[in-house]
Every structure is written in C-alpha cells, then in structure tokens.
Amino acid sequence: MRGIITILFFMLIFSGVASAQTGEDIFYTKCAGCHKIGGGDLSGPDLQGVTDRRDIQWIKTIITNPDKLVQENDPTMMELIARYGFQMPNLGVSDEEADKIIEYLKGFSAGAPRETPVEKQPAEQPSAPALEGDPISGKMYFTGEKRFSAGGPPCISCHSARGAGIQGGTLAPDLSDLYGKLGEKGLRGVLQTLQFPVMKDVYKNKKLSEEEIADMIAFFKETGSKAQKKQVKSGGMYPISGVMLFLVAMGIIWLYSRRVK
Ligand code: HEC
Ligand code: HEC
C-alpha cells in the first residue's frame, strides 16, 4: 500500500514538472513522431509556417480537440485528412500546453527570426527504412507474452483487439482496426509517441524499440485485414473521469510490476 502512495506522490510531482515544460519540450515528446518543422512531411504535415497559413484559434482546436473539427465538418480539416489519409489523434493536450506549443511554432513563421530546427529533429524518423516486423511476435507484445524491453505494460491491460480474438481490458478503445484507421505511417507515429492521455504516464520513459514497433505494426496490419469492415468505431475519449482512469491505470501498473517481480 505504501508503494502505491509513493508512486502516486511521484506522479503528482511529475505532473507538476510536466506543466513546467516548454513548448519545445512538449512538441518533441508529443508531436515530433508525426510532424517536422521544416524539411518536409512525416505522417503529418510539416508545421513550418503553420501559424501563417492557419488561424491561431483553429490551430488550438486541432491540437486540443481534433474530433471537434471533424464533427463540424471543417473544410480545411476534411481536406487535410483526405490528403494525409487519417485524422490526427486526440492527444489530450491541455489549453495551457497548446498555447505553449503555438508560441513555439510561431518562432518558425515567415516573420520570425529564423533559427534552423534541423538538428533537433527526432533521431528515428517514421520514414526510416522500415524493419520487417513479425506479426506473431507483435501479438505476443500486445498480450504480454513477450515483454517490452523498456518495461512498459502490455496493451491488453486496457485494450482488446477482438478482430484478432484478443479480449483484453475494456477501459480503452478496441484496437482491431488501428491499421485501417491510421495506415502504416500513422501507426508508426502513434507507437513511437504513445501519447494518449491515460497512456502517456504509463509509458513515460518506456518507449517501444524500433523492432517492437515493427512487430506491432505487422500484427495490427494482419489483424486489420482480418477484421470485418463493420469494426467497432472507437469514439475518442471515454466518458470516465480523469481521476478514475488515473486510479485504474495505477492499479494496472501496480499489478503488473508485482507480476513480473
Ligand atoms: C499520430 C500522428 C500525429 C501526432 C502524434 C500529431 N499529429 Fe498533428 N497531424 C497529424 C495528421 C495526419 C494531420 C493532418 C490530418 C488532420 O488534420 O487530422 C495533422 C495536422 C496537424 C495540424 C494542421 C497542419 C496544417 O497544415 O494545417 C497541426 C497544427 C498539428 N497537426 C499539430 C500537432 C501538434 C501540435 C501535435 C502534438 C501535440 C500533433 N500535431 C501530433 C498527425 C499527428
Ligand atoms: C493503462 C491503460 C492502457 C495501456 C496499457 C495502453 N492503453 Fe492505449 N489507451 C488507453 C485509454 C484509456 C485510451 C483512450 C484515450 C485516453 O483517454 O487515453 C487509449 C487510446 C489508445 C489509442 C487511440 C485509439 C483511438 O481510437 O482513439 C491507441 C492507438 C492506443 N491506445 C494504442 C495502445 C497500444 C498500441 C498499447 C500497447 C503498446 C496501449 N495503447 C496500451 C489506455 C491504455
């Protein structure tokens, strides 16, 4: 019990630290898996000069609540989704964080004193020559039969993939059709970042390796092609309060760390 309290305590401190992050820090943890600033597109558009070509409020909305733009049938959003093949996921970015990111992005607008961001680009880029993944191994990572080298919990603790016959947690959306939804590049960006609200603390400093990512992609690709077209559409955020999710996630980490001991 004391262990849990200690963990909770540290998580609180860490969330305090997180809010002291700069826009640049947030960008490189949450966004750089899919976006570069200058130098071309990854799975998402190059964000150099985005504050010139889009309205600031619009940018804030796509960062904090991309689903809203889709619901409103926003023409720019629809065009971008058509062009890039999938919708930017909701990453649970707060208003305050979004403001910081936008300030950072403004530094790369046409009028701003130009500083070249190139050296700061992430080392492993989604466009790097892809490793050949093994779907069986990917499935084992999903179910926890194989452990992630950095110690992150298996996806099954919170997610199912019924398309692959995997009944896991129901706390989070079913992932059977992830490949169909995001495509290869988007999926790679997602697996590199794992920055969804509940997941980001669980996978903090526990990034998947390139090989693990390749295996997971192979698994999702296979599952996606098997999954029926009438796949469960995952609906973004679930109506459970943040505190509840937080506690459940802590419980899972606790159980998991006990099990592997
Ligand atoms: C999993 C990949 C992924 C991640 C992570 C991601 N994005 Fe995106 N982003 C996209 C895609 C794909 C599009 C284009 C389709 C759309 O608009 O939904 C996009 C579009 C955008 C746009 C509009 C670009 C334009 O040309 O108008 C902005 C701004 C943006 N993202 C900012 C961010 C920020 C800031 C973050 C981090 C908090 C982030 N994105 C994280 C994939 C991603
Ligand atoms: C501690 C529980 C937990 C674990 C472990 C977990 N997830 Fe999640 N995940 C969630 C929750 C909850 C959501 C819903 C969005 C949110 O609130 O974070 C989510 C959302 C997602 C989404 C967005 C789905 C959508 O349709 O919007 C993807 C993709 C995803 N998770 C992939 C994974 C993968 C891949 C793994 C394993 C490497 C994993 N998750 C492990 C809890 C978890």
Ligand showing the shortest atom-to-Cα distance for residue 47: 1
Q: For the chain, which residues make up each domain, given as ranges? A: 21-120, 135-260
> Could you tell me if the CB of 157 is within 6 A of ligand 2?
yes
Yes or no: domain 21-120 corresponds to CATH 3.40.50.970: no
Atom of ligand 1 lying closest to residue 193 CA: 5
For ligand 1, pick from 35, 87, 195 the residue to mutate: most ligand atoms within 8 Å of CB. 35
Distance CA 231, CA 162 (A): 9
Q: State residue 154's pLDDT score.
A: 94
Q: For the chain, what is the mean pLDDT?
A: 82
pLDDT tens string 124-142: 444 556 678 999 999 999 9
Q: In sequence order, what DSSP letters do the residues of the chain get, joined into one string? A: -HHHHHHHHHHHHHHHHHHT--HHHHIIIIITTT--SSS--SSS---TTHHHHS-HHHHHHHHH-HHHHHHTT-HHHHHHHHHHSSPPPP----HHHHHHHHHHHHTTSTTSPP---GGGS-SS-TTSPPP---HHHHHHHHHTSS--TT-PPPGGGT--BGGGTB---SSS---TTHHHHHHHHHHHHHHHH---TTHHHHTTT-PPPHHHHHHHHHHHHHHHHHS-SSPPPP-SS-SS-HHHHHHHHHHHHHHHHHHH-
| Fold type of domain 135-260 | Cytochrome Bc1 Complex; Chain D, domain 2 (1.10.760)
Ligand 2, atom 39, lies closest to the CA of: 155
21-120 and 135-260 share one fold: yes
pLDDT tens string 51-101: 999 999 999 999 999 999 999 999 999 999 999 888 898 888 999 999 999
- Overall pTM > 0.85: no
> Could you tell me if the CB of 143 is within 6 A of ligand 2?
no
